[in-house]
Amino acid sequence: MKNIYGLTLEQLEQYFLSHNEKSFKATQVFEWLYKRRVSSFEEMTNIKKETLEQMQKDFNMTSIHLLTKTEGKDVVKFLFGLEDSNKVEAVLMKHDYGNSLCVSTEVGCNMGCAFCESGRLKKVRHLETHEMVLQILAVEACLNIRISHVVLMGIGEPFDNYDNVIDFISIINSGKGIDIGARHITVSTCGIVPKIEAFMEMDKQVNLAISLHAPNNTLRNQLMPINKVYPIEKLIDILKKYIERTNRRVTFEYILLENVNDTDACALELANLLKGMNCYVNLIPYNETSHIEFKKSKQDTIMRFYDILKKNKINVTVRREFGSKVMAACGQLRSNYEEA
């Protein structure tokens, strides 16, 4: 039996058409689910009884359940239990421009980045579409807020779960659904080139962020195994096409790791690599974890790195640190919960 929160509007329209019903029923159901937030089929009072009975045979509305909630300044971290008792995290960040939720896309991750906590716990399975949608609904219900921005930067590699992620984006972006504007949604990938290409062909207004973290193959191979499959030149090549085709700016995420990728030489090499591209670099102070030996760069090193990029006309910002006190770094909460 499918979970109803996993269907896009188009899929639900198809469902009703195949049951000899009008497709606008899908819009009505979407409104019950995402505008009025009902928790049972019986509450959908403008849908006739026989239709509701059929829907109850075909779908469930099972939610995910909250295991722990940890609060810090402007940040709330959630650990959710799934139906098969796997666990995922979501992190809410309160900005002056709105509430941004960082959602997980997989249980664990197989990308194996050296600095990342998620990769320590191997991928168990990908998340179903409804398990991503429900992270948003559960957080909104729990805090009685509306989420204005969504970043796919939690546990997992979104483009390793491509089809479900695309359906998820469709549901939350739909005006009939949760209605989060495409420009307020950001997908972050370690650089799976064929999926970046597929994403480009979809021509959505969704933001694309690339976890780069190194300016050359030698270093990137050490930090991110995916680079051995899709090296930097292939990555940059597809991103140039992406920018040309979509007219959109790409974000590069660059974690600063002390004495690893934070030298002046790295900054210069990065500036040369990105020169002339419509992009910006988001420098991320590393969120240290007890299991991994990397250290966070010193504040003055971060500023030097920033200055070198600036001087070389690269758009650059330093990411505000949200979660270090509540272990909000990718995967930390889940992996600490497993150990407790």
Q: Point out which span in 48-56, 81-89, 137-145, 286-294 binds ligand SAH (CB under 6 A).
A: 286-294
Residue 286 sits in the site that holds ligand SAH (CB under 6 A): yes
Q: Is 89 a catalytic residue?
A: yes
Residues in CB range of 156: below 8 A, 6 or more apart? 104, 105, 106, 107, 108, 109, 118, 123, 126, 127
User: What part of residues 129-158 is at the interface with ligand SAH (CB under 6 A)?
Assistant: 153, 157
- Please pick, from the candidates 161, 170, 287, 335, the single residue that binds ligand SAH as defined by CB under 6 A: 287
CA nearest neighbour of 12 among 198, 174, 241, 143:
174
Interatomic CA distance for residues 326 and 309, integer angstroms: 31
Nearest distance in Å: CB 128, ligand SAH: 18
- Please pick, from the candidates 188, 227, 246, 251, the single residue that binds ligand SAH as defined by CB under 6 A: 188
Active-site pick, 109, 113, 279, 330: 330
User: What part of residues 195-214 is at the interface with ligand SAH (CB under 6 A)?
Assistant: 211
Angstrom distances, CA of residue 7 to CA of 56, 169, 185, 239: 15, 11, 19, 30
Neighbouring C-beta atoms of residue 50, cutoff 10 Å: 10
- Please pick, from the candidates 76, 255, 266, 308, the single residue that binds ligand SAH as defined by CB under 6 A: 255
- Give whichever of 7 and 91 is closer to ligand SAH, judged by the CB atom: 91
Exposure of 187 by Cβ count < 10 A (0-12 exposed, 13-18 middle, 19+ buried)? buried
- Give whichever of 12 and 257 is closer to ligand SAH, judged by the CB atom: 257
Q: Is 330 a catalytic residue?
A: yes
- Please pick, from the candidates 289, 306, 316, 322, the single residue that binds ligand SAH as defined by CB under 6 A: 289
Query: CB-side exposure of 250: number of CA atoms within 13 Å?
Result: 29
CA nearest neighbour of 66 among 82, 43, 54, 47:
82
Binding residues for ligand SAH (CB under 6 A) = 111, 113, 115-117, 153, 157, 188-190, 211, 253, 255, 284, 286-287, 289, 329-330
Residues recognised as catalytic = 89, 330
